[in-house]
Amino acid sequence: MPGSSSMDDTQSVASLIESTTSKIQQLQQAFTELESHRAVTLNLKWKELEEHFHGLERSLKKRFNELVDQEKAYDNKASEAREMLENRKAMVVAKEHSSLEWLQEKRDAALSAIGSALGKSQNSLVIPIASNNEQHVLCVERLNEEGTKIDSEDAYLTQIMSASSQPCSPLMKLCQEMDAKGLNEYISENRKNLASIREEIPTALRSSSSPLNLVLDSLKNFYRLEMPEACGKKDADLLGLRRTCLMLLETLGQLLAELDPVPENLVISSDIKQQAKAIADEWKSRLNDLDIDASGGNSLEVHAFLQLLATFGIVSEFNQDEICNLIPSVSRRRQTADLCRSLGLAHRMTDVIEALSNSGRQIEAINLAYAFELTEQFAPVPLLKAYLKESRRTSQVKAGNTSPSAQVSIQNEMNEREISALKAIIKCIEEHKLEEQYPLDPLQKRVFQLEKAKADKKRAAEVAKPQSKRPRAIAGNGSPNGVGYAPRLSNIPDKSFYRGPERYPYAYERQYVYPVEAHASPLLSTAAYSLPHNHSNYYGNGYQYQSPFIH
């Protein structure tokens, strides 16, 4: 410690000064002995030396005493400074406590004024009030502008409350009223504003008295509105309804996973699990009758079924092998990896990836291998090469022995398959940064060659089309016999230029889309939905596809 070190130094210096007298005496004895060996006396000289040394001793003692006094003065000042700091610290703490008490009094007064203002309300308002770090939306009454006057503080708080309030949104109102049917219809009809709806739906669900029952009620029409394939409008409405049900299931699952502790109205009781189990049993029986392979890894029905099991925690009620067998039916969807984790299937992904690879769906296998860190067991580059080889082999087998006219059509189809496969491979390489292991340049050159050949054939076919020799005769007043010729209009745009209204995508339904032509034959069957011809094919990323290549 600094204090003990200083004290030791002082004592050491004092002992050295005290020893000077004995040192002078020793020096005198030595000088006397030296004098005895000389003929001439040295008494006068010794006295001078002795006086000199005693003068040095007195000077050192004086200086030492001055230093000791200065050290004591310094210690006194340091002690006074520490005492002053302690006093100031105590004063600051006292002021803080006083300020906190003053703020608490103001807060209590403000809450009292708000309660008094709410008691005089008439019309409904929505006022967000923070409580326990959560945002609750309470429906209160609008203040009576023609009522009796209140004191200035109440009027001030009422003005602030009215400025920060906003009316209940339709989505919030539907959730508070537990109107499941209206909730489904509102979301389906407002797909244009789906992004804002997805942001609002978690808060809206929590404002309901029972979010779990509300979501379960919304699932009851998942299959009830199914219509014949010829009715395209009803089929499109059913598709929108099912997507809405899936979004509600996903949102509820996210709320249950993020909230800690879970609020009382979101606790899954045994009764809620029984209701969810009944719905899941019904959906499972529907899946047994559905050709889910027709979706090529993009089955909305299977996704909704698996999300229902994950959200309500009823996975253990079903056979795990059967659930694993359903994963390839949703392997193209971007939520597949997270869905598998929530279902507790991470340890079974080796079997799923191997099944995808063996069925000609190597790119989907690669995506899951990266998601579950299994790329050492399933090397991406060999799988990509096998995928391209398999797509070419499937096309060649289909060609077989056919007529010359059919050969041209088959060759065009083979080129389209190869283009789609090459583009899917390029996208996969770019996404997983495999350029060093699998160079892109040869693949891109091949795509350019195939697309150029396709464009050349199209131009040659247009040139070879027969042209009419003369315009078709029409009735009119342009000639004496009432027959005229209509001019040939060549500037009318092609019908394909006009497109029907765009269907707004569901943002949560982005997916990996790969060319189904390269897959096994069961994947080439008819789609699960029969949409009208003017129904544009859009996915969650907003890009329209012609050949099924969106990654």
Q: Report pLDDT digits (tens) over 287-300.
A: 887 877 777 888 89
- pLDDT of 64 reads 86
For 311-333, b/e burial (b = at least 16 CB within 10 A) is: bbebbeebeeeebbebbbbbbbb
CA 144-148-152 angle, to 5 degrees, is: 95
Count CB neighbours of 273 within 10 A: 15
Residue 111 confidence (pLDDT) above 60:
yes
pTM tops 0.75 = no
- Distance (Å) of CA 31 to CA 17, 41, 44, 57, 172: 22, 11, 12, 19, 112
**Of the candidate ranges 210-224, 463-477, 533-547, the one whose mean pLDDT is the lowest:** 533-547
Q: For residues 179-201, give the mean pLDDT.
A: 89
Query: Going by DSSP bridges, is the β-strand pair 483-485/121-131 parallel, antiparallel, or unpaired?
Result: unpaired
Residue identified by tokens 């309300």 is 121
Q: Enumerate residues 6+ apart whose C-beta is below 8 A from 515.
A: 391, 417, 420, 421, 423, 424, 547, 548, 549
Q: For residues 436-451, give the mean pLDDT.
A: 93
- Distance (Å) of CA 263 to CA 96, 211, 218: 36, 11, 21
Q: What does the DSSP assignment read for 176-212? A: HTT-HHHHHHHHHHTGGGHHHHHHHHHHHHHHSS-HH
Please state, in angstroms and rounded to a whole number, the distance separating the CA atoms of residues 22 and 34. 19
- pLDDT of 400 reads 55
Residue 103 confidence (pLDDT) above 70:
yes
Of 327 and 57, the structure prediction assigns the larger pLDDT to 327
213 phi, psi to nearest 5 deg? -65, -35
Of 416 and 150, the structure prediction assigns the larger pLDDT to 416
Helix (H) or strand (E) holding 139: strand 134-143
Do the Cβ atoms of 68 and 76 come closer than 8 Å?
no
Q: Mapping DSSP to helix (H, G, I), strand (E, B) and coil, where does residue 134 land?
A: strand
Q: Report pLDDT digits (tens) over 119-128.
A: 665 444 444 4
Of 457 and 131, the structure prediction assigns the larger pLDDT to 457
- pLDDT of 345 reads 93
Length of the chain, please? 551
